[in-house]
Amino acid sequence: MRLALCNEVLREREFAAQCAFAAAVGYDGLEVAPFTLADDPLTLSTARIGEVRSAAAAAGVAITGLHWLLVKPDGLSITSPDAAVRARTIDAIRRIVELCATLGGRYLVHGSPAQRRTPPGIDRATARAWIAEALAAAAHAAQQAGVIYLLEPLPRDETDQVNTLDEAVALVREVGSPVLATMLDAKSAALTETASAPELLARWLPEGVIRHVQLNDRNRRGPGQGHDRIAPIVAALIAGGYRGDIAIEPFEYVPDGPACAARAAGYVRGLLEALSPSH
């Protein structure tokens, strides 16, 4: 299991400095939000992409994958009633999939709650069908690029579409692509699911549909900075033979981004060492 930091935690630093800091405090990689690389990540030049890859390689960290996919450019939505907007968004997804592969990432996390809400005047079933259409296109692009595409369940206060793992799995199976799966975000699971995160992992890891994990507390801070117990989640990952990446994704940085990132790395590394049979 590789430990990755979601790079927006360090967004105020140049990317090379993000890589160097992440490596110094114990991360194996960065999970990159494309909007941190450019205001419009679809316009990234070949030279800039090369710089990003080189910065990670020089620091000895991987670019594990991408997340927060549809924040920029503005105006994207896979549930817009405007077919042209949906088509433009699907084209953006295809290009972001290509970017992930070019950067050496192996997965994309599709969260982007604002860009998948049911619009006023549209029924939820219609919006869900549009989401399935976008996921099918994303999966096709991901299979061609050699990466996996992950639909992220999110809390109901963020979106009304795909709130639970059951709902995500249903869409994944409906599309039926070997490179389309879902993932577990600890905060979202704590806020939305009736079962605990370890129970969800025990249920879904053997099915092969959970292919990524993000750790955080329901209070939106880093793992270990709230009341949610993270050790049982790590234990469930080990017991389930999980071999994917673990990403650290806080939303509130206490006391600040670098300190939060460093604390989380030490905390999760300690859990992995204490709970892994190899230790």
* Active site positions, annotated: 152, 249
Question: Coil, strand or helix: which one is 80?
Answer: coil
For the chain, the first-to-last Cα distance in angstroms comes to: 14
By C-alpha distance, which of 170, 87, 75, 183 is closest to 132?
170
Beta bridge partners of 63: 30
Q: What is the CB-side half-sphere exposure of residue 71 using CA atoms within 13 A?
A: 16
CA distance 276 to 267: 14
Cα–Cα distances (Å) from 271 to 212, 233, 245, 257, 264, in that order, read 18, 10, 15, 21, 11
